Amino acid sequence: MHKPDRLLLAVFASVLMLFSIPAAVGQHRLHNAEEEKIKSYPWMNQSLSSDQRADLVLKELTLDEKIDLVHGNGMPGWGKPRPNAYLGNGGAGFVVGIPRLGIPIIQMSDAAYGVRSSAENGRYSTALPSNVGSAASWDPQAACEYGALIGRELRAQGYNMTLGGGVNITREPRNGRTFEYMGEDPILAGTLVGNRIKCEQAQHVIGDIKHYAANDQESGRNSVNVIISKRALRETDLLAFEIGISIGQPGAVMCSYNAVNGDFACENKYLLTDVLKDDWKFPGFVVSDWGGTHSTVKASAAGLDNEEPMDEFYGDKLKQAVQSGQVPMAQLDDHARRVLRSEFASGIVDYPTQKSVVDVEGGFEIARKLEEQSIVLLKNANNILPLNRESVRSIAIIGSHADSGVLSGGGSAQVDPPGPPRRWQEHVWFPNAPLKAVAAKVPGAKVQFDSGENPESAAALAKNSDVAIVFAHQWESEGMDLPNLSLPENQDALIEQVAAANPHTIVVIESGTAVTMPWVDKISGILEAWYPGSKGADAIANVLFGDVNPSAKLPMTFPRSVEDLPHPKLVTPPPGAQGRAAVMRTGEAKPTFSVNYDEGLKVGYKWYDAEKQPVLFPFGYGLSYTTYGYSGLKVTPGNSPSVSFEVKNTGARAGAEVAEIYVALPASANEPPKRLVGWSKVQLNPGESKNVEVSIDPKYLSIFDEGANSWKLVPGSYTFMVGGSSQDLPLKQNVDLK
């Protein structure tokens, strides 16, 4: 079929949906008598707890119905379509409901930074700033708004479960999915993803947190074995999940492709049962990553509750294993009960999804505001920014398709842009052009574009302009890792030539992770815009011209080069290592190569601190168009120590400062030099001071004792430090804690 025909069909489908009778998504509409009967069932009593309601339903289920709840039924493009494929909503997959008991279908969509597969059902989705950009806001309320918008758009498009919620901390910044995650610190990442999930689920969708755990590279992700100590795992990667689950209470946890200490994550008893279900008391269900299930009996015993997207191991094989006694019925009941509980807890039973029209303009407004809080001002020599509308008469806009749009990250997170469907890993620019956004700010100035393909041409345009703004990009995607952290396609050389032609050069970076900058000393201004979303260009222009005062801080370290990373050489699979296809065919895959996390506790800024390694830009760093001063630190010991201090806006315009709190533990704790334990984002008018008080969770001051399998506070002297970044901490106080 020709592409124009597909577009017409999509539009036609949307019109039909607007006039259709609302019904539970993907299910046959029940007759009134059946509906009334279902309403009378005891588990429809909303005054009961989610656990009680799930238990009541479980007693009514047949063996086949229990099996139905613990596996998916395919997704478009994955294997041969099932006879019941028509029940799906075009998303990542679905779990059939139990219509006779009023239990709806679970319709899943990838929704990392916006709802994916919207085009499959003739819909539109807002692309928000990438998740790492969201983390740069350091703002739990912004994370909440992020999740709430996704939740609303999921429901409008007929979905009731998100597969977003990525929180793998950045051990390996070349990881192709870094843009889907929340940076390198577990407390920052866990806090923000938890608030996102909490507000997502408030819209009556099942939330998800992923990829559990230590899924920190895409190269060989189906066959890599991550070797890491339990202490390092609990204090870094798993701590982010623990915090996120505690705050967000997601209905599902997605286990990852990789193995951890010898066992694949989706059949890893230590991860799924010992930690998640026993230590953390997680009541929801564990869903496999797509094709990440490797067994029936072992996976079930380890704690995997739902196989996706098919039923290779949790269909007939699981039924036979239950009937033969290899899998106890109580184990299957637990899997099914957890799925049911999440359906009740999220509200998808009581509030059936009904397709509706997405609030496009409202989504644009939220996307723009969130991006404005995500843009990090990294350099501002001689206060070149904000640009002066009165004095700037000519601007050169150079590179990165800035005449047509802004870049997004690829893979299963890719939000469908307007227009025809895109291929897997195709580069996508959302149609919000920086050229147009900048020109709108200075209608009397000459604003011209050069693609940057010919550096000499770009330099000539820059030389004849008051200001040159180079838009640089670094694209990444699921399914691949970056070879390095350099800007691709000779962009470094382009920036060098433009800067040589015009000293008033500003670089705007669209990336999903850190980039190296050999030209950093030769240009005047740098903005890190991440993948900026549907209205990213408008947000960038607002920051460039000072309509918005930047307040974001880096959620990850920008190193000087890959040689400074804990593992300068990315460990990749040997030739012939099994990939996903082999795993799906045989179900007998074994890890074929290992990555040893011998840096242990030293992740991100903790590594650079411990190794005394200089960096390009440190964790927590970000400039403003105003300045801030700190004073009056006071630490009050107790079960949850309290940290108070004054922050003053010492500049001439209003702004928001992220005030960061770090602690150095006693030497006997054998920890990196310092760790983030709290922060507060403070809004201040010019000259205004505010007292900030932050209560510190005692776990954030503790270490994990492997022998006791518990957290403990090491007695001794703790140094509390407060300031504007991990390397700018003017306030210090030593406190003895017992």
Beta bridge partners of 447: 395
415 Cβ contact partners less than 8 Å away, ≥ 6 residues apart:
113, 114, 115, 116, 118, 125, 126, 127, 408
Asked if 695 and 589 touch (Cβ cutoff 8 Å), the reply is no
d(CA 470, CA 519): 12
Catalytic residue among 289, 416, 450, 609: 289
Q: In what order do the strands lie in the sheet containing 467-474?
A: 376-380, 525-528, 505-511, 467-474, 394-398, 446-450
Distance (Å, whole) CA 41 – CA 36: 9
Here the tokens at position 305 are 């509750």
Burial readout 425-449 (b: 16 or more C-beta within 10 A, e: otherwise): eeebbbebbbbbbbbebbeebebbb
d(CA 261, CA 284): 24
Amino acid at 293: T
Distance, in Å, from the CA atom of 127 to the CA atom of 252, rounded to the nearest integer, reads: 23
Gap between the Cα atoms of 592 and 224, Å rounded? 6
Which token pair is 272? Answer: 């799924």
What is the spatial distance between Cα 670 and Cα 137, in angstroms, rounded to a whole number? 31
Q: Are 70 and 96 in contact (CB under 8 A)?
A: no
Other beta carbons within 10 angstroms of residue 587's beta carbon come to 14
Task: Yes or no: say if 525 and 421 are a contact pair by the CB < 8 Å rule.
Answer: no
Active site residue 139: no
Sheet holding 208-212, edge to edge: 208-212, 252-255, 285-288
Q: What one-letter code names the amino acid at 496?
A: E
Which amino acid belongs to residue 396? A
Structure tokens at 665: 């533990």
Q: Enter the tokens of residue 440.
A: 């709108």
* Structure-token pair, residue 728: 């700018």
Q: How far is CA 497 from CA 195, 465, 648, in A?
A: 44, 14, 40
- The three-point CA angle 245-67-277 to 5° equals 25
CA distances from 71 to 74, 161, 236, 450 (A): 9, 15, 31, 52
Buried b (16+ CB within 10 A) or exposed e, 331-369: bbbbbbbbbbbbbbbbbbbeebbebbebbeeebbebbbb
Which regions of 114-219 does DSSP assign to beta strands (E)?
161-162, 208-212
Cα torsion through 312, 103, 166, 287, rounded to 10: -30
Main-chain dihedrals φ then ψ at residue 194, nearest 5 degrees: -65, -45
Q: Which residue has the tokens 């993948």?
A: 531
The residues near 536 (Cβ < 8 Å, ≥ 6 apart) are: 129, 367, 368, 371, 406, 430, 432, 510, 529
345/161 Cα distance (integer angstroms): 12
Q: Categorise residue 106: left if φ over 0, alpha if ψ from -120 to 50, beta otherwise.
A: beta
Structure tokens at 188: 């920052």
Residues tagged active-site: 289
